[in-house]
């Protein structure tokens, strides 16, 4: 007997992979692309889309339930919570966008002639790391800046496509 894969997002217990819980069930033809858990672990942010197209972000309780849209705008990234848990960082149209949990844009960062995406906040919430490219170039470098976009500096300068950005942990 063949098992048909079920779309949606699931969670499992980290220690042993047990306690499988289906968190979302997208409509036919749609995908739920996970973003991030809220810092308190109670909610998940994700993007519901066809393929990987830009789409609205949605919030759902970590135990499952009916997701709600943050707003009607379409975003490129699935969203990452800032450490305080009261806002989300994503991208739209080549700029970084900060949304409160009601879906209001509270800040954005853009650089003329550049495409910014894939941002994530540092654990202390003071910095963000993100990918930076220019139109027509198939490579991206990693930049970091303060959350308001100031003090930006390039971390990598390579021909590689540096699109998976995250912060490491302090040793110890």
Exposure of 31 by Cβ count < 10 A (0-12 exposed, 13-18 middle, 19+ buried)? middle
Is the confidence at residue 160, as pLDDT, over 80? Answer: no
Per-residue model confidence (pLDDT) at position 12: 87
Q: Give the pLDDT confidence of 26-61 residue by residue, as tens digits.
A: 999 999 999 999 999 999 999 999 988 999 999 999
Q: Sketch the domain layout of the chain as residue ranges.
A: 28-154
CATH number of 28-154: 2.120.10.30
What predicted TM-score, i.e. pTM, was given to this entire model? 0.88
Q: Give the pLDDT confidence of 68-126 residue by residue, as tens digits.
A: 999 999 999 999 999 999 999 999 999 999 999 999 999 999 999 999 999 999 999 99
Per-residue model confidence (pLDDT) at position 139: 81
Per-residue model confidence (pLDDT) at position 138: 74
Is the confidence at residue 171, as pLDDT, over 90? Answer: no
């Amino acid at each position: 007997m063949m098992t048909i894969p079920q779309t949606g997002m699931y969670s499992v217990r980290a220690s042993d992979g047990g306690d499988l819980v289906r968190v979302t069930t997208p409509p036919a033809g749609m995908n739920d692309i996970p973003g991030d858990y809220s810092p308190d672990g109670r909610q998940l942010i994700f993007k519901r889309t066809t393929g990987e197209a830009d789409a609205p972000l949605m919030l759902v309780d970590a135990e499952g339930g009916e997701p709600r849209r943050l707003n009607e705008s379409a975003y490129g990234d699935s969203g990452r919570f800032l450490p305080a848990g009261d806002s989300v960082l994503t991208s739209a149209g080549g700029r970084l966008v900060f949304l409160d949990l009601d879906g209001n844009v509270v800040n954005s960062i853009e650089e003329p002639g550049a495409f910014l995406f894939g941002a994530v906040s540092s654990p202390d919430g003071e910095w963000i790391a993100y990918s930076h490219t220019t139109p027509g170039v198939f490579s991206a470098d990693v930049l970091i800046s303060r959350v308001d976009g100031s003090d930006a500096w390039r971390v990598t300068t390579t021909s590689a496509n540096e699109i998976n950005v995250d912060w490491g942990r302090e040793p110890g």
